[in-house]
Structure 1
Amino acid sequence: MEKFTTLTGVAAPLPIVNVDTDMIIPKQFLKTIKRTGLGASLFYEQRFNEDGSENEDFILNKPAYRNAKILVAGDNFGCGSSREHAPWALQDFGITCVISTSFADIFYNNCFKNGILPIVVSPEELEKLMDDASRGSNATLTVDLEAEEIRGPDGGRIPFKIDAFRRHCLLNGLDDIGLTMQKSEAIQGYEGRMSENRPWV
């Protein structure tokens, strides 16, 4: 997993509440177990018309936001089913930070396991960030995980808090496999002792 330290980029405003995982990545794209390629189908029903052409009105299809790295979204983001494909699709598109006033628990947890930083802010702070994001590609946000703050284009700073263990894992690029591999010597030692003491296993 890539380390997440400081992210500076365009933030796309998505002022929609209760964005569920089926909106993020519709069910017809869940057949794959690969984490790559899903970005093309992110928000598929909003990004594309029935004939397959792009919906010019959707935020991520607008020129200023095609390369957005941050999503500023409405309350209760990531609700609905527990599909891990949702953070996969966001990351594959290039979005590695989502800011909202609240997240569905399973989606929130899945984000950390896949290198995405979900940040909870107050309604007043979200309103300010939505305003910043609405300025387009000329107004970028900086998300500093080590300092736990968001810096706006006008110099404003919004602090946030992340659980210390989750923060450590993101800063060091550690998913569940990475955490396990940190104990590789102890695991190998245990397996060696098991082979000696229980050769029949």
Structure 2
Amino acid sequence: MTPFTTHTGTGMPLRRSNIDTDQIIPARYVPYFSWHGHTNALFADWRDDSSFVLNLPQYQGATVLVSGTDFGTGSSRESAVWALQRAGFVAVIAPRFGDIFTGNALMRGVVTATVPEDVVERLWGVIENDPSTPLSVDVQHLEVRCADITQSFTLDPGARRRLLAGQDSVTETLTYTSDIEEYERRRRPLLPVTHVRRTP
């Protein structure tokens, strides 16, 4: 993964709440586990509506999704995160997230910034007034910044450390390979030994 310190892009105002993972990417689009091919499935059941925000030209190229509360609830499908990434989103701002979605997102390098509902309302107003307004998500300083809005947010310290280093939990663990090997060398003589009886 690429280290995530600060991202500045434009925002997309998703004025909906209680968005579960089946709405982010319906189950019929995920018959197998693959990171590829999910772009057109993002919010598929809503995209027949030409006025749906993802279809509006002024928000094309947005990289930060600003949503109502309870984003990513429901099932644990990781493809909900993949679909967002394939559509170009690197961060989601909302008042509250589903716990499993948050874990999946942070593991994949997508920042979930939890901010108060009134801040989301203000962000929506700024973005809708001028979709080209820069919106920054700063993991280094744990801040969302847009126009005259500066709002702090929290992240799990371990997840923040991995984002800043560009690591997932596996690559972080691999940095301790020599320590793990040394521990195993010291521990092995203390373990019971199983003798295999071989038949002639």
Q: TM-score, normalised by structure 2?
A: 0.87
What residue is the counterpart of 1:44 in the other structure? 44
Offset at residue 106 of structure 1 (A): 0.9
Structure 1 Cα separation of the partners of residues 130 and 88 of structure 2:
17
Is residue 159 from structure 1 mapped to residue 152 from structure 2 by the alignment? Answer: yes
1:50-86 deviation per Cα after TM superposition (whole angstroms, max 9, x unaligned): xxxxx42111111121211001001111111111111
Residue 168 of structure 2 corresponds to residue 175 of structure 1: yes
Please point out which of 95, 112, 127 is paired with 2:121.
Answer: 127
Deviation at 1:40, TM superposition (A): 2.3
Distance in 2, Cα, partners of 1:65 & 1:192: 56
The answer to whether the aligner puts 1:12 opposite 2:26 as a matched pair is no
Q: How does the TM-score come out when normalised to structure 1?
A: 0.86
CA RMSD of aligned residues (A): 2.2
Return 5+ residue gaps in structure 2 as ranges. none
Q: CA deviation at 1:32?
A: 2.6
| CA–CA distance in structure 2, aligned partners of residues 136 and 66 of structure 1 | 13
Question: Residues 177-192 of structure 1 correspond to what in structure 2 (within 5 A)?
Answer: 177-189=170-182
Which amino acid is 2:85 matched to?
Q
Change (3 A) 1:6 1:131: same
Query: What is the aligned partner in structure 1 of residue 78 from structure 2?
Result: 84
- Provide the rounded CA distance (Å) in 1 between the counterparts of 2:62 and 2:98: 22
- CA apart distance, 1:141: 0.4
Look up the equivalent residue of 2:73 and give its one-letter code: C
**Distance verdict in 2 for CA 1:111–1:130, change over 3 Å:** same
Partner of 1:52: none
Query: Given the superposition, is the C-alpha separation of residues 181 and 120 from structure 1 closer, same or farther in structure 2, using an over 3 Å criterion?
Result: same
SS at 1:142 equivalent: strand
From the CA coordinates, give the structure whose radius of gyration is larger: 2
Q: Is the 8 A contact 2:68 2:117 kept in 1?
A: no
Is the Cα–Cα contact under 8 Å of residues 65 and 136 in structure 1 kept in the other structure? no
The 2-side partners of 1:37 and 1:173 are apart by 24
Letter in 1 for 2:164: L
Q: Distance in 2 between matches of 1:7 and 1:132?
A: 18
Matched, 1:2 2:2: yes
Measured after TM superposition, the shift of residue 192 of structure 1 is 6.8
> 1:5: Cα distance to partner?
1.0
Q: Offset of 1:191 from its aligned partner?
A: 6.4
1:94-109 superposed matches below 5 A: 94-109=88-103
SS of residue matched to 1:16: coil
Alpha-carbon distance in 2 for matches of 1:135, 1:26: 31
Secondary structure in structure 1 of the residue aligned to 2:11: strand
